[in-house]
């Protein structure tokens, strides 16, 4: 007696959510380090940043801002990967109906599907990233000489600006309006649309290249390796715009410095030179490998489960 397809799909979604949650928990400490390096002051290199955060905030400092991404990762992954696979399937079916269609449309299909997934990622992910970065940066020690003030939480004995994700959302909506929840959306578009092209396309080609022709589907090792490499490539190349996004979204915790993407790029370059746009590139690449490997494992297992269910229910 077979398992009901609906129950099987629910179980697979639960497993994918668990893998997504695990990837957030594993990757968040490095994400905090990356954010502090990109938008913070006087953290030095990666090792110095890790030591500073641990000394000032203990191990819990590395997990600040994690609750909101953790709560939303299942919806986010399902939407982004679902849009990518469905868009790719739709485009493939459209090409198959065309006379004289050939496999040469594969790359263009992947490119368009990746771009659509990137746009969806921005729509869902901008508020999540904003809350995460605000919570990560509210205890960041600013130089009085640079900004003309010191953090309220450290100098005046007051509590932190935000008491948690719910308070952070309420404060942003109250002071900046609903549009404030999408601060940095332009930089995120410039990061995620090309970023997802360099995420899905390398994965598909690497996975096909690693998987032996005799296999009916990708192996666990192939998915893990191709997903990890694709994640490292995507996050590494996205670092310059990730720096701009982090600075725009961290802006506003204590004061507003930047008027937009171009102003942030201009001010950052004038004060710190070209190297500022590569802050955190090593952390991004290292963090991208295990997180993306876990994401693609969940994605492939879910696809396989759906195909099995479809085969069982089809007459």
Residue 143 to residue 267: CA distance in whole angstroms:
17
What pTM does this model have?
Answer: 0.84
CA distances (Å), origin 297, targets 23, 202, 226: 11, 15, 10
The pLDDT of residue 9 is 47
Extract long-range pairs of 302-308: CB within 8 Å, 24+ residues apart. Answer: 302/12, 302/13, 302/15, 302/16, 302/81, 303/85, 304/217, 305/8, 305/9, 305/12, 306/9, 306/12, 308/8
At 303, the pLDDT band (50, 70, 90 cuts) reads: confident
pLDDT tens digits, 140-198 = 544 433 444 444 444 444 567 788 899 999 999 999 899 999 999 999 999 999 999 99
pLDDT tens digits, 3-23 = 454 544 454 555 556 667 778
Asked whether 191 and 238 are in contact (CB, 8 A), the reply is: yes
pLDDT at 88 over 80: yes
At 1, the pLDDT band (50, 70, 90 cuts) reads: very low
Mean pLDDT of the chain: 83
**Hey, which of 66-70, 135-139, 238-242 has the most confident mean pLDDT?**
238-242
Query: How many residues comprise the chain?
Result: 315
């Amino acid at each position: 007696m077979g398992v009901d397809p609906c129950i099987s799909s629910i179980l697979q979604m639960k497993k994918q959510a668990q893998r997504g949650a695990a990837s957030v928990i594993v990757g968040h400490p490095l994400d905090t380090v990356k954010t502090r390096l990109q938008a913070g002051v006087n953290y030095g290199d990666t090792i110095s940043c890790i030591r500073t955060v641990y000394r000032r905030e203990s191990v819990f400092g590395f997990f600040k801002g994690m609750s909101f991404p953790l709560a939303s990762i299942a919806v986010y992954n399902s939407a982004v990967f679902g849009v990518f696979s469905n868009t790719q399937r739709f485009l493939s079916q459209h090409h198959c109906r065309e006379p004289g269609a050939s496999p040469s449309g594969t790359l263009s299909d992947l490119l368009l599907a990746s771009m659509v997934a990137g746009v969806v990622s921005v729509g869902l992910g901008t508020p999540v990233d904003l809350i995460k970065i605000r919570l990560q940066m509210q205890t960041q020690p600013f130089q009085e000489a640079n900004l003309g003030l010191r953090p309220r939480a450290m100098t005046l004995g007051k509590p932190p600006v935000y008491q948690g994700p719910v308070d952070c959302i309420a404060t942003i909506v109250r002071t900046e309006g609903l549009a404030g929840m999408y601060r940095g959306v332009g930089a995120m578009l410039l990061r995620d649309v090309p970023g997802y092209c360099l995420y899905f396309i390398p994965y598909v080609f690497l996975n096909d290249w690693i998987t032996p022709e005799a296999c009916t589907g990708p192996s666990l090792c192939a998915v893990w390796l191709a997903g990890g490499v694709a994640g490292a490539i995507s996050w590494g190349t996205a670092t310059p715009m990730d720096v701009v996004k982090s600075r725009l979204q961290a802006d506003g915790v204590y004061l507003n410095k930047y008027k937009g993407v171009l102003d942030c790029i201009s001010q950052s370059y004038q004060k710190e030179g070209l190297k500022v746009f590569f802050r955190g590139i090593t952390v991004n690449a290292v963090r991208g490998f295990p997180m993306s490997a876990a994401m693609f494992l969940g994605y492939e297992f879910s696809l396989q489960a759906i195909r099995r269910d479809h085969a069982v229910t089809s007459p």
